[in-house]
């Protein structure tokens, strides 16, 4: 299946915040229910060990994505406290307040473009369900920036560009109806726009179909990394977790080769 870069409603500058939150709230509920990244948190741990850091810098964080659940799990995986700095081109005030109440999470107050991350934001870069938003040249720029600054990067998409995944997202409206009671905070507008007027199910359906069509395949991700170079270890792949397909790419600086003392 070819990649198509159609528009997503939630990306449009004119999309009202309430409609955007219908989609992000649903995504958060599905991530909290299916926990699609927990089984592969060792990949994050590997990236952290590669540079000996306990800090992560999440890009395109939106409302925080999976981190509210993932941070404690990752601490157990690495056996030490971790700090996650959430960032976005358009930082979320609501998520900033929420992150402040969770140990180890903080939301960066200034706008951060994933293609040009400021030098002071050092740590393993993560990007959950955000990479498919970028066209190939911008996607490559995100990887290039991480390599240029010698920072590890981990990309996870709860998506896969296959016919099966496309068929699966056709059931997204049903899933919205089932999961909406789990979305916090419970608001009257979310209930009205889900159960009285089917705005949320239709929005999620469109954005999910477009996301599947935009998702990069592991071989395309590998192709991007081959064009970058830079003595990096790269690993791209896919897996299924609780009926959810996940595509991922991990990259971190290759360890320096051991110095051969006999040569010195
Ligand atoms: C799908 S949403 C959030 C995904 C979130 N990580 C999650 O798992 O729910 C994508 C986010 O990317 C942000 N974004 C778009 N372009 C960006 C850029 N160039 N740099 C950083 N963030 C960007 C948007 O503001 C939006 O919050």
CA-proximal residue: ligand 1, atom 14 (nearest): 60
Between the CA of 130 and the centroid of ligand 1 the distance, in Å, is 5
Residues 147 and 186 in one domain: no
Q: Which residues share a beta bridge with 233?
A: 252
61 lines ligand 1 (CB under 6 A): yes
DSSP assignment of 189-204? HHHIIIIISTHHHHHH
Residue 259 lies in a domain: no
Residues 242 and 151 in one domain: yes
Residue 72 lies in a domain: yes
- pLDDT score, position 264: 45
- pLDDT score, position 259: 60
Residues 80 and 117 in one domain: yes
Residues 64 and 195 in one domain: no
What number of other Cβ atoms are within 10 A of residue 243's Cβ? 8
**Residues 155-178: pLDDT tens digits?**
999 999 999 999 999 999 999 999
Q: Which residue has the tokens 């006999």?
A: 262
CA-proximal residue: ligand 1, atom 27 (nearest): 62
Residue 127 lies in a domain: yes
Q: Are 34 and 243 in contact (CB under 8 A)?
A: yes
Query: How far is the C-alpha of 131 from the C-alpha of 214, rounded, in Å?
Result: 9
Work out whether strand 124-128 and strand 55-59 pair parallel, antiparallel, or are unpaired.
parallel
Residues 189 and 228 in one domain: no
Between the CA of 17 and the centroid of ligand 1 the distance, in Å, is 14
130 lines ligand 1 (CB under 6 A): yes
Residue 22 lies in a domain: yes
Query: How far is the C-alpha of 63 from the C-alpha of 40, rounded, in Å?
Result: 22
DSSP assignment of the chain? --------GGGSTTS-HHHHHHHHHHHHHHHHHH-TTGGGHHHHHHHHHHHT--EEEEES-TT-TTHHHHHHHHHHHHTS--EEEE--SS--HHHHHHHHTSTTEEE-SS--BTTB--TT--SEEEEES-GGGS-HHHHHHHHHHHHHTT--EEEEES---SHHHHHHHTTHHHHHHHHGGGSSS--HHHHIIIIISTHHHHHHHHHHHHHHHHPPPHHHHHHHHHHH-SSEEEEEEEEEETTEEEEEEEEEEPPPPPP-GGG-
156 lines ligand 1 (CB under 6 A): no
CA-proximal residue: ligand 1, atom 1 (nearest): 130
Residue 263 lies in a domain: no
Structural domain range at position 245: 36-161+217-254
Residues 122 and 51 in one domain: yes
- pLDDT score, position 260: 62
* Number of domain units in the chain: 2
Q: Output the tens digit of pLDDT for each of the chain's 264 residues.
A: 999 999 999 888 899 989 988 998 899 899 989 999 999 999 999 999 999 999 999 999 988 889 998 999 999 999 999 999 999 998 988 899 999 999 999 999 999 999 999 999 999 999 999 999 999 999 999 999 999 999 999 999 999 999 999 999 999 999 999 999 999 888 999 999 999 999 999 999 999 999 999 999 999 999 999 999 778 999 999 999 888 899 999 999 987 655 665 554
62 lines ligand 1 (CB under 6 A): yes
The CATH number of whichever domain residue 97 belongs to comes to 3.40.50.150
36 lines ligand 1 (CB under 6 A): no
Residues 30 and 40 in one domain: no
133 lines ligand 1 (CB under 6 A): yes
């Amino acid at each position: 299946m070819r990649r198509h870069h159609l528009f997503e409603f939630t990306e449009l500058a004119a999309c009202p915040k309430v409609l955007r939150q219908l989609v992000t709230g649903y995504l958060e509920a599905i991530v909290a229910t299916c926990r699609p990244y927990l089984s592969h948190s060792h990949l994050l741990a590997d990236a952290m060990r590669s540079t000996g850091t306990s800090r992560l810098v999440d890009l395109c964080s939106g409302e925080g994505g999976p981190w509210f659940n993932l941070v404690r799990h990752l601490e157990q995986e690495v056996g030490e406290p971790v700090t996650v700095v959430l960032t976005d081109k358009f930082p979320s005030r609501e998520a900033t307040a929420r992150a402040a109440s969770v140990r180890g999470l903080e939301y960066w107050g200034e706008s951060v473009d994933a293609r040009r991350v400021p030098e002071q934001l050092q740590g393993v870069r993560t990007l959950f369900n955000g990479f498919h938003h970028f066209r190939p040249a911008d996607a490559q720029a995100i990887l290039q920036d991480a390599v240029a600054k010698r920072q590890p990067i981990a990309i996870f998409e709860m998506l896969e560009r296959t016919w099966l995944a496309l068929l699966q997202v056709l059931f997204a409206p049903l899933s919205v109806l089932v999961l909406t009671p789990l979305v916090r905070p419970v608001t009257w507008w979310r209930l009205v726009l889900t159960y009285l007027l089917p705005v949320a199910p239709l929005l999620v359906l469109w954005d999910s179909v477009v996301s599947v069509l935009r998702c990069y395949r592991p071989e395309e991700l590998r192709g991007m990394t081959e064009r970058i170079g830079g003595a990096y270890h790269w690993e791209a792949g896919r897996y299924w977790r609780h009926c959810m397909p996940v595509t991922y790419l991990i990259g971190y600086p290759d360890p320096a080769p051991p110095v051969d003392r006999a040569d010195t």
